[in-house]
C-alpha cells in the first residue's frame, strides 16, 4: 500500500484563492482543507461500527465547516456567523478539539491502524495542490496546523481598528489587545507541540513528503511570528503606560527583533514561492524591518541619556538607523500588500502609529548637521549594535489530549482480533 499521494498544482483547480484579502494585522496563511475520508472502507474489519461512525461524523463536520470557512477566513469584518449557517472560527476550532482525542486512538501504543487510512488535505503554500498520506500522524499534524491558523485569524480580527463611539480615529481597545496576546500564545502552543511532539513521530520518508505548509521551518516561523506579534502588542501597551521606562520599551523592541529574525531564518531556504507562500515571506521581512526601526529608536534614546560625546554620537547613529528602517519598512509593507492575494494595511495604531510620528521628529532634532552627508550605507555601517536580551515570551504549553474513552474495552478487542486476521 502506498503512503504518499501528491497532486500537481495544475491538476484540477480545487484550491480556492481569493484575489483580495482586505486588511491584515496578523498574517494568516490560507486554510488547508481536509478532503472526505471513508473510514468504514479501511477500518470496518478492525473497529466496532459505532467508533468508525464517530470518527466519520467528527471528521465530516470539519470537512464541511472548513470548506465553508475557507472563502471567508481572510474577510476582515467581525462576524458571529457565516452566510452558510454559523460556522464561526470558534466553532471550527471546537470541532477540531472534539476530533483530536478520537483520532489519537489510531496511533495509540504504536497501533498499526495509524497506516490504514489515507488522509488528504488541500494545501495553500505548497506547489502540490493536495497531499495524501496513509498516516494518522500526518492527520494530527494537519489538525494542529489548522488550529493554529484559526488562532491567527481570531487574533487578526481582534487587532483590526474599530471606529470608536466617541468619534475619534479607529483604535483597538486594550481588552482586545490583551485577548489577542492570549490567542497568539495559544496558537504558538499548537505549533510548538506540532514541532516537538508530532513531527518526530513521522518517519524520515514521510517528513520529506510533507507539503511546505507543514515543513518544520514554516511551523517554527509561524510560532515565532505569533510570539513576535505578541511582543509588539506588549510594546504598544508599554508605550501607552506612564509607568513603563525606556529600558522596558527597548528590551521589548529588541526581543521583537530576535523573534522576527528567527522567523525569517526558518523560512529563508524553503520554496515559498507559490501565492500564499511568497506573501508569507514578504510579511516576515516587513515585520522584521519594522521591529528594527523600533529597537534602534529606543536604543538611541537611551544612548542619548549618556553625558559623553561618544554616547551622543552613537545615539544619533541609532536614531538615523531607526529612520532608515522606518522608510524601508514602508517599502516592505507595500511589497507585502501588492503580492497576490493583495491586501491593505489597517489604519495605523499602537506601536507603529506612535513610532511613525516620533522617529522622524526625534531624529531630525538630534541630527544637527547636514543630513545629505549621510548615505544609507554610512548610517548602517556606523549604527551601534543592539543589546542582546534573552527572549522572555514562550508559547503556551499545549499537550495532546488523552485518547478518547471510546477506544477502551470492546473497541480495542475488536482491533486486536482484526489484526490477528491479518
What confidence tier does 14 reach under pLDDT thresholds 50, 70, 90? Answer: low
* pLDDT band with cut points at 50, 70 and 90 for residue 86: very low
Three-class SS of 273-301 = CCCHHHHHHHHHHHHHHHHHHHHHHHHHH
Q: What pLDDT score does 269 carry? A: 81
State how far the alpha carbon of 351 is from the alpha carbons of 177, 272, 333, in Å: 12, 29, 15
pLDDT for 67: 85
Q: What is the pLDDT of residue 221?
A: 96
Q: Which residue has the higher pLDDT, 67 or 335?
A: 335
pLDDT band at 325 (very low <50, low <70, confident <90, very high): very high
pLDDT band at 80 (very low <50, low <70, confident <90, very high): very low
pTM of the model: 0.89
Distance CA 168, CA 349 (A): 12
pLDDT of residue 127: 73
pLDDT higher than 70, residue 375: no
Report in angstroms the alpha-carbon separations of 294 from 166, 232, 255, 257, 259.
Answer: 30, 10, 11, 9, 14
Whether the per-residue pLDDT at 138 is higher than 90: the answer is yes
Amino acid at each position: 500500500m502506498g503512503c504518499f499521494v501528491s497532486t500537481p498544482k495544475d491538476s484540477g483547480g480545487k484550491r480556492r484563492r481569493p484575489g483580495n484579502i482586505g486588511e491584515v494585522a496578523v498574517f494568516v496563511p490560507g486554510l488547508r482543507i481536509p478532503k472526505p475520508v471513508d473510514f468504514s472502507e479501511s477500518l470496518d474489519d478492525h473497529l466496532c461500527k459505532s467508533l468508525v461512525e464517530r470518527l466519520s461524523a467528527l471528521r465530516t463536520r470539519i470537512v464541511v465547516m472548513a470548506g465553508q470557512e475557507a472563502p471567508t477566513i481572510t474577510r476582515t469584518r467581525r462576524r458571529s456567523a457565516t452566510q452558510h449557517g454559523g460556522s464561526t472560527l470558534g466553532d471550527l476550532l471546537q470541532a477540531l478539539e472534539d476530533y483530536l482525542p478520537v483520532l489519537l486512538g489510531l496511533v495509540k501504543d504504536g497501533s498499526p491502524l495509524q497506516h490504514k487510512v489515507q488522509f488528504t488535505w488541500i494545501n495553500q503554500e505548497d506547489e502540490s495542490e493536495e497531499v495524501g498520506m496513509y498516516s494518522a500522524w500526518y492527520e494530527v499534524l494537519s489538525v494542529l496546523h489548522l488550529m493554529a491558523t484559526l488562532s491567527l485569524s481570531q487574533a487578526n480580527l481582534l487587532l483590526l481598528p474599530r471606529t470608536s463611539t466617541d468619534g475619534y480615529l479607529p483604535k483597538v481597545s486594550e481588552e482586545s489587545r490583551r485577548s489577542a496576546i492570549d490567542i497568539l500564545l495559544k496558537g504558538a502552543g499548537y505549533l510548538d507541540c506540532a514541532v516537538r511532539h508530532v513531527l518526530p513521530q513521522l518517519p524520515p520518508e514521510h517528513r520529506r513528503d510533507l507539503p511546505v505548509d507543514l515543513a518544520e521551518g514554516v511551523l517554527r516561523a509561524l510560532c515565532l511570528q505569533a510570539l513576535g506579534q505578541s511582543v509588539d502588542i506588549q510594546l504598544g501597551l508599554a508605550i501607552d503606560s506612564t509607568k513603563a521606562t525606556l529600558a522596558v520599551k527597548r528590551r521589548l523592541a529588541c526581543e521583537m527583533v530576535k523573534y522576527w529574525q528567527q522567523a525569517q531564518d526558518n523560512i529563508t531556504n524553503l520554496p515559498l514561492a507559490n501565492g500564499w507562500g511568497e506573501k508569507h515571506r514578504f510579511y516576515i521581512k516587513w515585520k522584521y524591518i519594522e521591529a528594527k526601526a523600533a529597537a534602534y529608536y529606543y536604543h538611541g534614546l537611551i544612548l542619548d541619556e549618556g553625558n559623553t560625546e561618544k554616547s551622543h554620537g552613537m545615539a544619533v547613529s541609532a536614531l538615523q538607523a531607526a529612520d532608515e528602517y522606518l522608510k524601508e519598512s514602508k517599502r516592505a509593507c507595500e511589497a507585502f500588500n501588492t503580492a497576490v492575494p493583495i491586501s491593505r494595511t489597517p489604519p495605523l495604531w499602537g506601536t507603529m502609529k506612535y513610532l511613525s510620528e516620533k522617529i522622524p521628529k526625534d531624529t531630525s532634532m538630534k541630527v544637527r548637521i547636514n543630513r545629505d552627508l549621510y548615505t544609507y550605507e554610512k548610517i548602517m555601517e556606523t549604527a551601534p549594535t543592539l543589546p542582546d536580551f534573552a527572549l522572555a515570551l514562550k508559547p503556551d504549553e499545549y499537550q495532546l489530549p488523552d485518547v478518547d474513552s471510546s477506544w477502551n474495552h470492546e473497541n480495542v478487542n475488536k482491533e486486536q482480533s482484526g489484526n490477528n486476521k491479518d
